[in-house]
Copies of this chain bind each other. A is one copy, B any other.
Amino acid sequence: MQKEVFLKILGERIREIRERKGITQKQLAHAIDKDQQSIQRLETGKINPSIYYLLEVAHGLEVELDILIINDSKV
């Protein structure tokens, strides 16, 4: 799968989970000591985040890390 496509889908998935929780980018960011712009870049697929960064986001969303992960076969 192409990198850009992968990152875009990852971002969309994270956004879905966040919205399902009913919190804003800012609230998620502050919960994990980041800021809104950082979450925005992630959700829009503009960056290729590190795995630890994703772990922190998963914590902020109160989900397991693997829930954020996309496998090729699922796309």
Contacts and interface: CB of A to CB of B under 8 A. Distances in A.
Interface of A: 1, 3, 6-7, 10, 48-55, 59, 64-66, 69-73
A62 to B, nearest CB: 11
Q: DSSP class of A's interface residues: helix, strand, loop or mixed?
A: helix
Copies of the polypeptide in the assembly: 2
A57 B48 CA distance: 15
Which residue, A51, A55, A66, has most C-beta atoms of chain B within 10 A? A51
B52 A51 contact: no
A34 to B, nearest CB: 15
Nearest to A2: B52
Contacts of A1: 55
